[in-house]
Structure 1
Amino acid sequence: MPVYMLHGFRWPRAGFTGIRVYVVLHNLEQAAAEYIQQPLTTELIIESFNKTQPDLLPRLPELRFIEQYDPNDETSNTVSQDYAYVGAKVVVFPDGGGLAPAPGAGPGLNIEDVVEQGSGLTDDETAALEELRDRLAPGEKIGWFMVYNGDPERWYPPSEDEEEEYDEDESEVDDQSEVQSHAATEPSTPQSYTARLTRLFNRMSSS
């Protein structure tokens, strides 16, 4: 349950330059606009930034997306926060340290020291961050933010399309397995079951 200290800005989810519109305009169909810290979504957006912001991304090598999330909060707005955070420098406090609701520094890290030391960004990196802010979130301030995330690997259920695709693949494998079982002279063994799972995994990986 880490706490993140990041130097950057908030990226609104709504609005013409917001996350949702960006994901749609750039055809990031597999991206989770409601949770961009998800690894695949981060990868897709960074790849897109390299195309849409080619003058900025090489100057921000440590750019990260951070989300605020408390798994114990079951209110409706917890499902999707109004903002995600874009950080040019991110310091992670792994286990919180016991403060609530936003835990403090972990062993060997001190929040005050992090802020006093500054962002550590060069003038060029600072200028690139400001330009990125102006393009994605005009009007948002750049500064230090403390963000708590109780489940960074937050699991999302598969979409209906993904479930249908999985069911179709599994059905095809079942049909093939049934034909093979009729032709075989020996009953199914654990080894044949393992082979079936392997074939299913290979089909899903190649699709």
Structure 2
Amino acid sequence: MPAYLCHGFRWHRRSVRVYVVVQNLDDASPEWIIPAKSATCILESFYNLFDFLPYCSPSDHDINSPVSSEDGNLTQNTSRAQSRGHRSRSQRGHGGTSGADFFAQDWSVVKVLEEYDPMNLDEVSRPYAYVADYVVPVDLSVSIAEEMQKYEERVKADRDPPIMGPGSDETGRKKANKQRTGWFEKLRDQLQRGEEIRWYVVVNGDEVRDFPEYPQE
């Protein structure tokens, strides 16, 4: 049962449906956005639409093998323009082998997630998906405080941070009126304005959701 600690915001299902239709994303599945083909289609559309996002491309990921850093994050430095400086293309924590479709998103600094309870037969999909700029797969356990500290250190060191320091609306930070916003805050404003950016634990009871195979009579 894949579980993830993530820093991000909820993307309401109605907004997902509208986005997929308006952008004419034939390969995207708005009720279940995480299959590799669907997630790649949606994420690529983000980079095509929003030039404030750090440059990322799945074709670059195919060509260049990711380099494993000391803390286990997969990193590749690139930028949309030289003025933006260098950035880690994939931000995910150490450990974790669950969720093959999720790891197909390694090329992107933005991730999408779904939560799902296979025992709840009253829902085809949850009321929202998740969009994140930091995701840690949780196999057994993870130190939440340690991962939050890693994220804080990354934000402080980044020349083009995803959120703008103490002014962010992330839970645990002091809200303040500010003129500047980070690229992840701008993405939130484009996809789901008013939604909080905060830490979530997302559990997905069945990422594949295959139909059972019954023997033919």
TM-score, length of structure 2 as denominator length = 0.59
**Is 2:188 the partner of 1:133?**
yes
Q: Is the contact between residue 5 and residue 145 of structure 1 (CA under 8 Å) also seen in structure 2?
A: yes
| Alpha-carbon offset, residue 57 of structure 1 | 4.4
1:1-207 residue pairs with structure 2 within 5 A? 1-14=1-14, 18-58=15-55, 61=89, 62-74=109-121, 76-77=122-123, 79-94=124-139, 97=140, 105=141, 109-119=142-152, 120-121=154-155, 122=158, 124-126=161-163, 127-155=182-210
Name segments (4+ residues, structure 1) moved above 4 Å: none
5+ residue gaps, structure 1: 98-104, 158-207
Deviation digits for residues 13-41 of structure 1, max 9, x if unmatched? 11xxx110110011112211011111111
SS at match of 1:124: coil
Structure of higher CA gyration radius: 1
Which whole-Å CA distance do the structure 1 matches of 2:26 and 2:11 have between them? Answer: 19
For the aligned residues, what is the CA RMSD?
2.1
Deviation digits for residues 163-182 of structure 1, max 9, x if unmatched? xxxxxxxxxxxxxxxxxxxx
Q: Is the contact between residue 38 and residue 154 of structure 1 (CA under 8 Å) also seen in structure 2?
A: no
Aligned residues: percent identity? 38
| Alpha-carbon offset, residue 72 of structure 1 | 2.1
Between Structure 1 and Structure 2, how many residues are aligned?
140
| More helix, by proportion | 1
Equivalent position amino acid for 1:83 in 2: Y
Structure 1 residues 92, 56: closer, same or farther in 2, change over 3 A? same
Q: Is the contact between residue 49 and residue 57 of structure 1 (CA under 8 Å) also seen in structure 2?
A: no
